[in-house]
Amino acid sequence: MSAAGTGRPAPAPPRFDGPEVDDFTRPYWDAAARGTLLLRRCAACGRAHHYPREFCPHCWSERVLWEEARGRATLYTWSVVYRNDLPPFGSRVPYVAAVVDLEEGPRMMTEVLREAGEELCIGMDLWLDFRVEGGVMAVPVFRTAKR
């Protein structure tokens, strides 16, 4: 498709699914690009949390450190999305939006990739994977089958 009579390709629709990478979150996204999920663990209370924050959401301590997740989770809840008009989600439907309990303790919003026809059930084991977005950013997702 070309832009109205110019012979040039039409601009890509705006994307709404990418995070803003800053100095604080850069280690998280750099690790994701290497296939590793990072969590934050509080040195004061010992609890892990996700999404990355500069303070502990449990005790408010600022003594939090990066920690590599093992990549295992259990399915807490999910919803199959059949319609989403925001790019690039429309090309992915249907997809499974989910909340998982990471083995390290935190809950995480994510997407679950499954084999065709595979049924989901609360408490099922999931394994970490990554989807590359736009050739540059790896986004953590989970799979129902260990690869």
Task: List pLDDT tens digits, range 83-128.
Answer: 988 777 777 889 999 999 999 999 999 999 987 778 899 999 999 9
- What is the C-alpha to C-alpha distance for residues 66 and 43, in angstroms, rounded to an integer? 10
The pLDDT of residue 37 is 97
Q: Residue 10 is encoded by which pair of tokens?
A: 């039409």
- What is the C-alpha to C-alpha distance for residues 57 and 106, in angstroms, rounded to an integer? 11
The pLDDT of residue 24 is 92
Q: Model pTM?
A: 0.82
pLDDT at residue 133 tops 80: no
Closest CA to 129 of 71, 53, 79, 89: 71
Interval 21-32: pLDDT, tens: 899 999 999 999
Interval 34-88: pLDDT, tens: 999 999 999 999 999 999 999 999 999 999 999 999 999 999 999 999 998 877 7
Q: In angstroms, how far is CA 142 from the centroid of its own chain?
A: 8
Cβ(8)–Cβ(1) under 8 Å? Answer: no
Closest CA to 78 of 90, 89, 94: 94
Interval 4-22: pLDDT, tens: 566 777 665 555 556 788 9
Residue type, 10: A
